[in-house]
A and B are shown apart, each in its own frame.
Chain A
């Protein structure tokens, strides 16, 4: 996109703002959407499936949602009811609104209601104080998840069901005037992590701020994402999952599919559609839950990248 008018129109055109869930199935780099619940969607199973949730913002208390704990709990009930054979859950950051321990506590307890092992990366709201130590100690502890030093700073990798998962932190040490940022140390770690891996192994990258430039004036992108994507280019199936922008957006570039998830707390405006990216306050009565939701991802064996289904909390 990068500010290109045609790219921006295309991105807006492929937004699924609300309504029924969609199954995204990408074959040969061409994404195809089918309605969630259709026979075609039902037949897309197989392989590893997992769930993505994002931007739960525990502690937020403004319009349009004075009770983000309630909607997060609804999201976990939806995950529990529809998880099927899902093996794990990813939370792509902004677990909390103000990095406060009680917010982390409640979020941790509610996430447990999904009944799935959950892996987290930080959003900028999670690392507001003490360089994020409270978040990292609870949500990416080295002792529970593995020994890599990066875990204490929110970046790590693991393998499950034949898929290589890479969690990245692009919300700290931001530069004035810039967007999200990974930094040289994390990029060096990523280079080492991917070195020697078979290009045939599916890779899922998850991070808070989009790793593609959705809207630069609002900082909806990552300054040094191109360096990370260059390291991923040789892989046959790469799926990049992000949050931060509180709406569903998709883009496919070569073998790489980008997808952003809805928030479980509040919607944000379409890029450039408001004076600022702040919460959409004037949601019509009864419409909030259509703008919140969860994402389910299935690895379709022999096809690439992965099939992604977004489901709103309500109609």
Chain B
């Protein structure tokens, strides 16, 4: 699985999706995962290949999003309140991840 790792500011993210929807460009689907109360919600999510997942930190405390399996397919920068991290999942598979600051926080992306 190799996807572009993009860290988006909230404003940039909102501006990107409609702007990219020109007739010649197919916008891949995007799915949101919230980080709130020290948990990923939903903790498990199933998506089709090519889907971009966008995590948004709703907590007052920074979190990150780190692939659990080596070699790590994705690792976000620390996300402060309301910051986002986007990653496109191109390959099928099961991709567990966690917050490296608060390692009890775990999630999984299933691509099929």
Contacts and interface: CB of A to CB of B under 8 A. Distances in A.
Are A and B physically bound partners? yes
B80 A278 contact: no
B32 to A, nearest CB: 19
B103 A175 contact: yes
B30 to A, nearest CB: 25
B62 A276 contact: no
Contacts of A174: 100-101, 103
Given A276-B38, A276-B39, A125 B62 contact: yes
A176 B106 contact: yes
B101 A124 contact: yes
Contacts of B77: 129
A129 B98 CA distance: 16
Contacts of B94: none
A179 B103 CA distance: 6
A247 to B, nearest CB: 16
B78 A128 contact: yes
A62 interface: yes
A98 B62 contact: yes
A219 B98 contact: no
Nearest to A216: B104
Given A99-B78, A129-B77, A177-B98, A278 B104 contact: no
A62 B37 contact: no
Interface in A40-86: 60, 62-63
B9 to A, nearest CB: 15
Interface in B54-112: 59-62, 64, 68, 77-78, 80-81, 96-98, 100-104, 106
Interface string B22-39: 000000000000000111
A129 B62 CA distance: 12
Interface centre among A97, A98, A176, A275 (most CB of B within 10 A): A176
Interface in A170-210: 174-179
A105 B80 CA distance: 20
A42 to B, nearest CB: 39
Contact of A279 (B60, B62, B96, B101): B60
A277 interface: yes
Nearest to B103: A174
Nearest to A266: B60
Given A129-B77, A276-B39, A277-B38, A97 B104 contact: no
B20 to A, nearest CB: 29
Contacts of B61: 278-279
Given A176-B68, A277-B38, A62 B60 contact: yes
A64 to B, nearest CB: 10
Nearest to A171: B101
Nearest to A181: B103
Contacts of B106: 176-177
Contacts of A219: 102-104
A175 B102 CA distance: 10
Contacts of B62: 97-98, 125, 128
A301 B68 CA distance: 49
A170 to B, nearest CB: 12
A32 interface: no
A65 to B, nearest CB: 11
Nearest to A124: B101
A217 interface: yes
A176 B60 contact: no
A288 B106 CA distance: 32
12 contacts: A128-B78, A174-B103, A175-B103, A176-B106, A179-B104, A219-B104, A275-B37, A276-B38, A276-B39, A278-B37, A278-B61, A279-B60
Q: Which 9 pairs from chain A and chain B are nearest by CB?
A: A276-B37, A174-B103, A176-B98, A276-B38, A128-B78, A62-B60, A219-B104, A176-B68, A275-B37
